[in-house]
Amino acid sequence: MVVTRFAPSPTGYLHLGNARTAIFSYLFARHHGGKFILRIEDTDRERSKKEYEESLVEDLRWLGLDWDEFYRQSERFDIYRKYVDQLLEKGYAYPCFCTEEELERERREAELKKIPYRYSGRCRNLTEREVERLKAEGRPYAIRFRVPDGRTVVFEDLIKGKIAINVDDFGDFIIVRSDGTPTYNLVVVIDDALMGVTHVLRGEDHISNTPKQILIYKALGFEPPSFAHLPVILGPDRSKLSKRHGAVSVASYREEGYLPEALFNYLCLLGWTPPSGDREVFLKEELIEIFDLKDVNRSPAVFSVEKLRWMNGVYIREVVSRERLYEAALPFLKEAGYPVEDREYVMKVLELTRDAYETFKEMVIRLRPFFVDEVEIPENLMNPLRDARDVLSEFLKRLEGADLSSPDKVKEFVKGIIRDMNLKPRQVWHPLRVALTGEEEGVGVDILMSVLPKEKLRSRVERVLSCLG
Which of the residues are catalytic? 243
Exposure of 466 in the CB half-sphere (CA atoms within 13 A): 6
Encoded amino acid at 153, one letter: V
Whether residue 264 contacts residue 63, with contact meaning beta carbons closer than 8 Å, is answered with yes
Beta 152-157 vs 142-145: how paired, if at all?
unpaired
Question: CA 266, CA 311: separation in Å to the nearest integer?
Answer: 7
Please report which helix (H) or strand (E) contains residue 311, including its range: helix 305-314
Neighbours of 8 (CB within 10 A): 24
Cα–Cα nearest to 164, from 174, 173, 151: 151
Please report which helix (H) or strand (E) contains residue 187, including its range: helix 184-194
Please tell me the total number of residues recorded for the chain in this structure: 469
Please give the full DSSP string across 349-372, using - where no structure is assigned: HHHHTGGG-SSHHHHHHHTHHHH-
Whether residue 421 contacts residue 394, with contact meaning beta carbons closer than 8 Å, is answered with yes
Q: What angle, rounded to 10 degrees, do the helices at 389-399 and 454-468 form?
A: 150
Question: CA 336, CA 38: separation in Å to the nearest integer?
Answer: 35
User: Which segments of 79-120 are extended strands (E)?
Assistant: 93-96
Please give the full DSSP string across 203-219, using - where no structure is assigned: EGGGGGGHHHHHHHHHH
Question: CA 110, CA 72: separation in Å to the nearest integer?
Answer: 37
Beta 35-40 vs 3-6: how paired, if at all?
parallel
Encoded amino acid at 287, one letter: L
Q: What are phi and psi of 94, to 5 degrees?
A: -150, 155
DSSP 249: B
